[in-house]
Structure formats: structure tokens, C-alpha cells
Structure 1
Amino acid sequence: MEENVVEVPRLTGPQRRIGAGGPLVGAIGLGCMGMSGEYYGPADDERSIRVINAALDAGATLIDTADMYGRGHNEELVGRAVRGRRDEVVLATKFGIRLADGKRWNDNTPAYARQAVEASLRRLGVDTIDLYYVHRFDGETPVEDTIGTLAEFVREGKVRHIGLSEVSAAHLRRAHAVHPIAAVQSEFSLWTRNIVDDGVLGACRELGIALVPYSPLGRGFLTGTLRSVDSLPEGDFRRGNPRFADGSLEANLPLLDTVSAVAEAHGATPGQIALAWVLAQGDDIVPIPGTKRMEYLAQNLGAAAVELKQDELDALDRAFRAENVVGERYPAAIMPVTR
């Protein structure tokens, strides 16, 4: 299907609020990580910019990036896309993961936070970041020091709202005591629901904090289109992900039977059912499925029009119980530190 004949539907349903005092956004946002060609195969800047603009046209106003995606390229790309449309977008980015000389480490120190926010503002070409996340915690810097620094950015007008990514409930409460947290970004989907069991989602709701799920389509697995890692481009990080590698993908494929059956009943795609399930978990949840293709953007936004019945939600819950999923969600070396 060619991009120029894809009709992207307008998002249906009411907007959702990012935190108690945060902005209203479309019920589904757009994650831009894959647009930098470093994680999910080759990308095309001009095509990606068209996708971002189509998302904004359709009401998907929460656009998500990070300073480490493409080592700054992704922020520059998003900045180009939203130029001239600043008032139409809720712009989110993150700091806290550093990459240099082939090494990766987390850094939440106040000195690095200030260096990072200035660099992000420059790359994005904006005066203010709407939602600024701590991407990962380093396990050493007191959260009070990090959030205190981000609170300074709010007072200085560099940042409007503060978010946290991959955080524990205890860490979240400590951060919120320093400055109101608007959003928590965490992996959350049919096959990744640890934030329910570990109390993070409960803490968000107790404190009036929005949940922004990344990878709500299970890194493509829940779309039903990925049947073998051999179909993935060289360099695609899923080739080494425990849920895809060494036969795990094939072992997980039976999980999709329930998704496919519900999709058939609704005349929808499996991916739309997976997103509809996420949306049904609460109106304080704004998923950010990532794509760099117009046809997938159209499918993702169309999920907002799918209303699942309670028995369908229950069937999906049962099918994707944690004990039925083969493989951890990350390799041990890069599993987020949430303590």
C-alpha cells in the first residue's frame, strides 16, 4: 500500500489528560524511536516526517522521543517535523541514558541533567519541552537530587511537566514528594503487565499520574505479522531480545490465537485489538505505539474506535498470563533499574 493513498483516520473518543494538571492529548500518541533506523531496521527521514505530521493532523498530539534515540538524530527529526506546528503538539523527550565509545550507562546527576536538557532544547528547536522524563535511573544519584534539578527547569521555563520512565512505586512516591510527576512511561501491553503486579499502576492512580505505555504492541509481536526472526532486518535489536530469539518467538505464537479470534469478531487487525485492550485499562492511559509507516499509523489510530466487551477483555487477560509468556522483556544487561 502506497503512502499517498493511505487514509489516516481521525482519533475517536475524548482526549486524555497527562497527569492531574497536565495537558489534554489524543488517546493514542506516537513513539518515534524507530524513525532513527538504529533499532528496527532502515528508516527514511522524509517519510517519518510525513508520518509525524499525519499523526498531528489526526489528533495524535503526544509525540515521544529521547536524546539517546539515534544519538540525537531522533530529536532533530522530530524538531523538523513539528516546526511551524508547535502549538499543536505535546512534545515529550527523555534524558538519563548515555552512549559513548561503545558503552552505555545511566546518569541522573544534576550536572548531566542540565547538560542534557540544553542539548535537547537545541536539537528540538524549541524553547520549552512539554514533558521531560528521566529515561532510566542510575541506582546511585538520589531521586530527590534529580527531580529537584528538573523542578528548577520547570521554574526556568525550560520544561512544563516532569515524567519518569521504568520506575518503582517507591521511587515514584519519593519523586512526587519533591515535585508533581505528570506521567510514568513504562512498557505495558498484553504480554508485559508487571506494573500491575509491582504496584506502579496503583501508585500512579493514587497520585493522579498518567501512564504512557511504550511498546503497547509488544514490539510488533501483537500485530500478528511477525512469525520468525529471520524476517527481521540485520541489526534489528529484536534478534537478540529474549522474547524473540532462540525459538522464543515461535513458542509465543500460540498466544496470538485469542487476539486473532477477537480481531475477526470486530473486523479489526490483531494490533488494533492489542491497543484497544490497553486503552480499556483506564482513561488515564495514553499508549504511544511507534511506527514509521503511514499504513501502520492508520491502523494504530483506528484502534480507538474498537470497543471490547468484558468477556473479550477477560479472555485476552487469561491468554496472556505471565506464566504463558516465554522470555524476559529485555536482556539482563539492559534490564531497567527500578529500585
Structure 2
Amino acid sequence: MSEEIEKVEIPGKFGFGTMSLTWTPNPQPIEKSVETIKYITSHPEFGTKLINLGEFYGPDDANLKLFQKFLESSDPKLNESLIVSIKGGCDVKTLAPDGSKKSVSKSIENIVSYFPKEHRPKLLFQIARVDKRVPYEETIGYIKEYVEKGVIDGISLSEVGKESISKALKVAPVSCVELELSLFSQDLIDNGILSYLSEQQIPIIAYSPLCRGLLTDSTVENSDTFLSSIPKGDIRHHLDKFKPDIFKHNLPTLKKLYDFAHNVKNTSLESLSLSWILKLSGQKNFKGIEKVTRILPIPSGSTPKRIESNFGSIVELSDNDLEEIEKIIKENPVKGFRYNEQLEGTLFQ
């Protein structure tokens, strides 16, 4: 591993995902989203220092423009305290990953143009998926050049398997790895990636910790109308777990988890789901893993009220609680790919 650059340390228990603020059929006014980011970054109890962005999260650099507006209206000292992990390096029209030097350079240079030269957050860059046309170690090398120049501060990875993580580590330190993890999407536990990252003690940034809104009280309480309420153009229309037959199959599991949250832990389903991830983070002797690496869930939220709902009722789970939750899911196995059959081959590469 190179010693020329260092990992960026990720503080806190949570991050905040911004995809739903700009990459949605009907994004809310930018002023509202700026206030939401201000709320989550400055809240005294659950304020987070890790913000997750995407160059392609919306048309015409919408996500970057939103964050630029936030930085311009925020306290420079607060801005300096933030860590921003940004996905890029893909064709914005097809969303296919492009790990070439030209693509990485274009993406990083575009991203940094939205950040001030002074009082800026620490920047981590990750290519959104593995481009099989370019050796992964070469792609990481292109990103590393920008770290060495001081243009960005560190390297993160996205949707990678053990082989790609190993290749990356031979080139440069990795600050974190972004992967999907939720009660309904536990693939990284089952396929050995959690074990591998725990051996390296590389933090995991857990995206979609509420399984794109499935693991919420509202879904269970409005299960008859939930699918029909998803807006036209929403990506969930193309995902397995939102197909009527699969949703119907998974609903009993969802209801049992809801009952456990409310009747046993006196909290919401979304809070139980996030508490479960936080319980796994640093857990000792878990499924043969001596000590689980740090896991930071990155729920989203369009308004302060939604953020309060997602972040505000975290509970302490016991080892017995973990066993009870696992029992519920084992007795009622969750069906459906994380995305769908067509996209399955693009994950954990």
C-alpha cells in the first residue's frame, strides 16, 4: 500500500445522503433543500459531518449546484469540518461507469469547480461503479494523482467486490467503501465483503439503509396504497422489491419488524432499521468476524421533520434483539434483487 497519502478519517455514526433532494421526478425548491442540509450538519444531537453527493444526481449538475448553494450560505468553519464523498466517473446519459483517465479527470475537475478554494470540506472521490474495460488499479491510480496534487483529499469506493478492493489497496489507502445495507438487503454480510472490510478496518458507508423507503412506518400503515403512491418516473418502479407480487410476499416480514419496533423497542420501523446498522458497527464476534468495521448509515430526508423521524429515535439494541430480528427474517425470507436481474451483474464488482 502507498504511504504517500493517508486515509481521511470519517467522524460520527451517521452520514447524510442527498440523492433524493435532486434526483427525483419532482425535486423540492433548492432553498428548502439548502435549509435541510443546514439542519442536518448543525444539529447538536445528530448532526452529521459526512455528506454523500453524486455528480449525476439529477440533470445539469443539480446535486453539485445544490451543495454549492449550501456552502455559500453556511459558516466557513462548519464547511471545513465536513467530509463530502462524491460519486462520479460515469456517462451521465447512460450511467455506465467510465474508469478512463479522461473520464476521471473530467469528473474530478468538474466537481471541484463547485467548491471554494478556501474553507472547503474534505473531498473524497469515488467512481460510481467498476468499469470492466479499464483495470481497476489504473482507475484508482488516476484518482490518486488528484489526491497527491491536493485537488481532493481521499479515495472512496462504490459497489466493489473483494478483488477490486484488494486492487485499490495496492495503489492507495481507501477512506471508506459505499455499499447498500439494510434489514432487507444484507448481501454484503452473506458474501464475505463485510468480513473482508472488517479485516482491513475500512469503514462502510451504508446507502439505502431504509431500503428506499420500504422500512418505514408509513409503508406498513399505508401498505394498500404504498405502491400506487410512488410518483411516475421514480426509479423504484424498476426495482424488484417494489413489484406488486414481491412486495406482497415481503409484507408479512415488514409487518413483523414493524411490530417488533413498536411493541418491543417502543420506536419506529425506520429507527429500528438504523439502530440495527449501528448495532452491527463495531460489533464483536459477529458471524465469525472478530470485530465488525465501522458502518455509517446515510439515510436521507427532504425536510427537518423527516430528518427528525429518521435520526431522532435511535435505540440501543441488545444481542438478544439482534437474534430476534434475525429470527423474524429467517422465518420470512426477503425476496427480490437489490435492483433487478438486469443490473445484478453491475454490483459487488
Which TM bucket (shorter chain)?
0.7 to 0.9
**Alpha-carbon deviation of 1:128?**
6.7
Deviations 1:103-159 (A, max 9, x none): 332101111101100001113445675221121111121011011111111101112
TM superposition shift of 1:51: 0.9
TM-aligned CA distance change 1:254 to 1:46, over 3 Å: same
CA 1:128–1:153: 2 relative to 1, 3 Å: farther
Contact residue 165 and residue 184 of structure 1 kept, 8 A: yes
Query: Quick one: distance in 2 between partners of 1:312 and 1:69?
Result: 36
2:307 maps to: 297
Match of 1:257 in 2: 255
Contact 1:184 1:210 in 2 (8 A): yes
Indicate the SS of the match to 2:240. coil
Alpha-carbon distance change, 301 to 337 in structure 1, aligned in 2, over 3 angstroms: closer
Partner of 1:314: 323
Match of 1:247 among 221, 245, 248: 245
- Asked if 1 retains the 8 angstrom alpha-carbon contact of 2:98 and 2:131, the reply is yes
Distance between the aligned counterparts of 2:332 and 2:193, measured in 1? Answer: 20
Within the candidate set 67, 80, 83, 2:55 is matched to 67
- Is the Cα–Cα contact under 8 Å of residues 275 and 317 in structure 2 kept in the other structure? yes
| 8 A contact 1:164–1:183 mirrored in 2 | yes
Q: What SS does the corresponding residue of 2:185 show, helix, strand or coil?
A: coil
Q: Where does residue 291 of structure 2 map in the other structure?
A: none
Contact 1:212–1:286, Cα closer than 8 Å, also in 2: yes
* 2-structure distance, mates of 1:99, 1:243: 25
Which residue type is aligned with residue 111 of structure 1?
K
1:97 maps to 90
The residue that corresponds to 1:178 in the other structure is: 171
Matched, 1:161 2:150: no
Q: CA deviation at 1:323?
A: 7.4
Instruction: State the 1:331 CA deviation.
Output: 2.4
For the residue of structure 1 that corresponds to 2:48, the secondary structure is coil
Structure 2 distance, partners of 1:245, 1:306, is 31
- Residue of structure 1 equivalent to 2:67: 78
Q: Is the 8 A contact 2:15 2:49 kept in 1?
A: yes
1:194-238 alpha-carbon deviations (Å, 9 max, x no partner): 111222111211112100000000101011312221011111111
> Quick one: distance in 2 between partners of 1:124 and 1:35?
19
Matched, 1:50 2:49: no
Secondary structure in 1 matching 2:189:
helix
Change (3 A) 1:132 1:276: same
- Per-residue CA deviation, residues 211-266 of structure 1 (Å, 9 max, x unaligned), is 00000001010113122210111111112211112332222111123322232233
- The AA in structure 2 aligned to 1:239 is H
Q: Which of 226, 229, 232 is matched with 2:227 structurally?
A: 229
1:331 matches 2:340: yes
Q: Which amino acid aligns with 1:22?
A: V
Residue pair 1:138, 1:337 contacting (<8 A) in 2 also: no
Considering Cα pairs closer than 8 Å and 6+ residues apart, tell me whether 1 or 2 has the greater RCO: 1
* SS in structure 2 at match of 1:63: strand
The residue number in structure 1 matching 2:289 is: none
The aligned counterpart of 1:267 is: 266
1:30 and 2:30 correspond: no
C-alpha contact 2:9 2:175 (8 A) present in aligned 1:
no
Q: So what's the TM-score if we normalise by structure 1?
A: 0.87
81-90 or 221-230, which moves further after superposition? 81-90
* Aligned mate of 1:150, from 140, 143, 151: 143
**TM (normalized to structure 2)?**
0.85
2:130 is paired with a residue of what secondary structure?
Answer: coil
Quick check: 1:134–1:164 contact (8 Å CA) kept in 2?
yes
Q: Distance in 1 between matches of 2:331 and 2:301?
A: 26
Deviations 1:263-299 (A, max 9, x none): 2233211100000001111141111012212212112
CA RMSD, aligned part only? 2.0
Preserved CA contact (<8 Å) 1:189 1:215:
yes
Q: Aligned partner of 2:63: which letter?
A: N
Q: Contact 1:163–1:185 (CA<8 Å) still a contact in 2?
A: yes
Contact 1:191–1:322 (CA under 8 A) maintained in structure 2:
no
Q: Does 1:109 align with 2:100?
A: yes
Letter in 2 for 1:295: K
Contact 1:93 1:129 in 2 (8 A): no
- Matches of 2:333 and 2:41 in 1, distance apart? 37
Residue pair 1:128, 1:158 contacting (<8 A) in 2 also: no
Contact 2:209 2:273 in 1 (8 A): yes
C-alpha displacement of 1:302: 1.8
Report whether the alignment pairs 1:134 with 2:143.
Answer: no
SS of 1:60 mapped into structure 2: coil
